[in-house]
Amino acid sequence: MRKNIVLIGARLSDNFGGPSLALSTVEALNTVYSDSGFTLLVPEKAYEKDKNLESKYPVTVLPFHTDKVVLFSFIKRWMRLSLGSVPFQKTITALEDADFIVDIWGIMFADSFRSVSFIPKFREGLRLILGRLFKKPFIKYTSAMGPFQSKWNRVFAQYYLNKYVKGILARDLVTKEHLKSLGIRTPVFVAPDTAFLLLSTPIDFPAHLSEFFQQRKVLGISVSYQARNRFGEPNQYISMITSFIRHVVQDYNISVLLIPNELEQGIDDDNKIAWEIESTVARDECKMLDTSNLTASEIKGMISHCELLIASRYHTIVAGLSLGIPTIAVGWHHKYVGVLQLFNQHKWVLDIQNVNLGMLKTQFAALWEDQESIREEIQSYIPQVKQDIFSGVENISKLL
């Protein structure tokens, strides 16, 4: 049954998680709503760049800014005036024509994510009112949420999720328990992140990597400014990863591919961290992947050439596990434990708050030793994980 479906999510450009979720959510929803039309609302500042990528993704790309959409829609409704640029007017029209709205941001209402003061938490949930505003069912798609220890995170999560959301897909059982303890009455189903469905697209190796993958086994490492910022002293994170790379290159005779996921202007940029590490290591066995012009499927295609992964980025972990790659996570939220638990791999999570070089070496030694049995175990769980994603879609469809 064809539907007009509006997705609200992260940018497609300079990002791995956002396009991974967009592509795979379209695939998942099409199993129930075949041949549907999809509009993806991306952050306003990324719109121009994302619009140029539209031909590579099965969505119509339009700009989104919560304040503007809410304001323009109120004015249009009560004053019969269409304000804003032509693209923003198209955004309002897409929401008016939608059969339902799906928010696909992967993390929300978490104490450890962004500021927990009044204004930021009020604004974080504001987009959830769009369903009520446009009289459309609003679904909060696979997301990690909680914990809810801070006052305003707890207050606004409870308010928005109970009042404005038709159904919630939690990424993991921990999120479901957090929502239950908060008194969320909206139906909550548990389903894995849809990005497990993302296809891997093979591409020709970049010139500087053509021999790199042929000479040794490759360990992929996704570095993260989020991890760096939570490490206490930021330079210690880079120092730890640099020392670890020198160790594995020397002692395990492997190469290391640095995989930046989220590219930004300024210091909060995975690319800058990867470049600094590559420059400091200064060895031919450590190279950085230029992800700036790759689609999500192409990045996953490059990840598929890695034998092992150490990841501080959630969707690198998802990509690796979906490919059967033994993976260590260096994380800062329960979502990292949750995703590895799907494959009985939660022993391989290291907390960014207490990890050190010695712990990383010890974990890697164990992963290296048992990599074949670990790979087999991961692969045995993949069919069920994918089936659970489709079951989540079925459960949500019953609410619509």
Tokens in use for 94? 């897409």
Tokens in use for 286? 């450590």
For domain 4-197+385-397, give the CATH number: 3.40.50.11720
Convert the pLDDT of each residue in 346-359 to its tens digit: 999 999 989 999 99
Tokens in use for 179? 């929502």
Residue 330: name the closest of 250, 268, 244 by CA: 244
Q: Where are the alpha helices (DSSP H) in the chain?
A: 17-30, 47-51, 66-79, 86-97, 118-124, 130-134, 151-164, 173-182, 212-215, 225-229, 234-251, 270-281, 296-303, 314-322, 334-341, 357-369, 371-397
Tokens in use for 129? 């009112």
**DSSP states of 169-213 as a string?**
EESSHHHHHHHHHHT--S-EEE---GGGGPPP---PPPGGGTTHH
Span 369-378, average pLDDT = 98
Task: Provide the pLDDT for residue 230.
Answer: 86
Q: Is the pLDDT of residue 213 over 90?
A: no
| Higher-confidence position of 4 and 112 | 4
Are both 4-197+385-397 and 207-381 of the same fold? yes
Helix axes 314-322, 17-30, angle to 10 degrees: 50
Tokens in use for 149? 């220890």
Give phi and psi for 293, each to the nearest 5.
-115, 20
Half-sphere exposure of 259 (CA within 13 A, CB side): 33
Spatial distance between the Cα atoms of 247 and 209, rounded to a whole number of angstroms: 21
**Where exactly are the structural domains of the chain?**
4-197+385-397, 207-381
- Highest CATH level, class, for 207-381: alpha beta
Task: Provide the pLDDT for residue 55.
Answer: 94
Is the peptide bond prior to 206 cis by the omega test (within 30 degrees of 0)? Answer: no
* Residues in CB range of 350: below 8 A, 6 or more apart: 328, 329, 330, 331, 359, 360, 363
Task: Provide the pLDDT for residue 234.
Answer: 67
Task: Provide the pLDDT for residue 42.
Answer: 98
Q: How many CB atoms lie within 10 A of CB 113?
A: 17
Cα 278 from chain centre: 24
Task: Provide the pLDDT for residue 214.
Answer: 82
Task: Identify the three-state secondary structure at position 214.
Answer: helix
Report the predicted TM-score, pTM, of the whole model to 2 decimal places: 0.94
